[in-house]
Chain A
């Protein structure tokens, strides 16, 4: 019996172990699967289960030569300059990008928010139009104009998820919710879900504060704390936890609907099946001659 059960349980535990491995190893293949944007083709090509693989891959894109800057400038002129100006100096339509740094540009382009119709409204995520290398090239070119924060390359090797969760609860959960599901803020602005953001994007967003988001500089959060948060989001927020379907992580409202409509609903269905649906013996006896229709009727007659 136990042997049979073990055989039954084995595949499941394999799956669980694989999932756990994926979490711990922060496997590049997984990053590509959940994030879509991830660190590009180089990451998925790196050997699986090699922990530093993604980091190496990220480092590969880091080295930008002058030819990369050239590419970035060309792409910027083609795609961005009509609003932001040929030298990223901004225009009536869009803000000046000089001095914002490569990190800001990378976040806004790689997240799919650009091009943005209205700077004050919630950005709509659009499909990627650049490869990872192209995005980095654009960002690096803008960054090379007037400095600012470079594209970060979060190395999560020594990060503490415990410290990360603590920082997350104090600084991120108020808007993004404690499960990272995101929620609506005032005036049509939304704190987006964190379930598919890459490590680089999270790092950039914390430091640069895109749109409505506050900016967490080194005086507020140390670089270690940022890495901790990134590690917590990547390893826990973005992975299902114990106990079954999490219903989108939006808390008791979804649970209440399930409790009422599935829980109570199933019980009522069971009652409906066990009990009688119609006043039972009515149909079968009502037409029979031996059942009185009520004494009043004959008396009246």
Chain B
């Protein structure tokens, strides 16, 4: 019984949130990785691309609520997802035409693109604050829980309850669908194969007649769609606050680099590695151990490796260790 209680406790505070957060990071990292694979630079504006997608969802959700449109028990934000994706794709492609296309035509080095993307990031941040302001916004409505902690406890007669939020299960479901669609596209369609070919060897792709402009627009489209989806799911799970998405940039890049930049499978795995590291290292294992250990060995401290304020340090740490030991990432992406 003690062991089951310990497992439920861990499930509630580590595994379930870890899977949700990991999925969100994986979606975000996939977008970063795609841009790196095709355009060969690290897109620092990706965090705020996520924020923009979530912002569109916030605005459309309040519009839908005021019109009385709802898809309860699902959150209204899910209804706005396609529109948020479309809006984000348009914005990102507009930025490509306004900014990146120029640097491609003069064949700038990757570092110039990175700096340009930092500029785009600031413009996006300004745009988002101009439209919705810097405050918290609640994105979630509809039912809150799939599995309620209290009911779970009562039903199983346990001390510990397990709760699974609607947003968490939606996150997992949508991530699975998005990833399957992405991999099907990249591996089964002619255009997807052309994208991989372009990422592999740009010169040979051009010689084979693959149009660089099409591939670039497609890469932005996919990346923006993934960013908007990740942004909305994160906003549903936690809360929508513009600055949070900027802060997500670090774990996102840690995830993409851990898995190997430019490698989609790596980005996927990297998202979960970073999410679980962050959660495990900042989780206080005191109560968990209290269930498993004999009474005289029960820990007196919190058994927390780092306090939650340091969670960003964990991404940094993972990043540094990976770059030192395996610079191309676990799944051997390309080095820059």
Binding between chains A and B: no
